[in-house]
Copies of this chain bind each other. A is one copy, B any other.
Amino acid sequence: MPQKNVPAIVVGRLPLYLRTLQFLKNEGKRVTSSQELAERLGLTSAQIRKDLSYFGEFGKQGTGYAIEFLEEQLRGILNVNRQWNVFLVGVGDLGRALAHYRGFQANGFRLVALFDNAPKKIGGKVGDLTIHDTSAMPRVIAEKKLRIAILAVPAESAQAVAEQLVGLGVRAILNYAPVTLSVPPKVKVYYIDPVAALQGMTYYL
């Protein structure tokens, strides 16, 4: 259940905490501290304590955080203690790499449908999944009750596809197209743009 008034930037850091806890657990640790998390994440321990305080009390002064407990709590807060079915629109080079990416399934995001509008791709397979014509989106999205899309179409068609997806009930879009999408506030969009990422680093060089 989302808490009120949690800044989006805080929400955006929770998955990083979750990932770090998983790594610490894989290293055989059972307990961690805001100091240890801060070192791993390049944040201050005060920032981490403040972020977590939006959601409750997860550690004890002096004894730190029980990793498994905090991980479970964060999964609950982020709504990822369940499986989400997701679908991909745009099966070019990048879409194909995403369809092969094992990290989604390992973290509770199951890719269940692929769409493209290129006749030569439709009917083809990537792994176990068949590439469907985008004209099948209304049927498939309704049947499978899908609400999360990964968008890997060319920039020039991204806005039109996004509008169609919103009309079909999609509420979250992971957008790889290098364009800012205009969607209603109820729809969440996360941008993956490696060029913008590189440009944000060359500032410092």
**Which interface residue of A9, A23, A188, A203 has the most chain B CB atoms within 10 A?**
A203
Is A52 interfacial (CB-CB < 8 Å)? no
Chain B: CB-nearest residue to A12 = B200
Which residues of A183-205 are within 8 A (CB) of B?
A: 188, 190-205
Q: Which segment, of A65-73, A91-99, A135-143, faces chain B?
A: A91-99
Partner of A172, one of B23, B171, B191, B198: B198
Contact A147 B205 (CB under 8 A): yes
Is A122 interfacial (CB-CB < 8 Å)? no
**Chain A residues close to B by CB (< 8 Å):** 2, 9, 11-12, 14-16, 18-20, 23, 39-42, 77-80, 84, 86, 92-94, 96-98, 100-101, 103-104, 107, 109, 147-148, 150, 171-172, 174, 178-180, 182, 188, 190-205
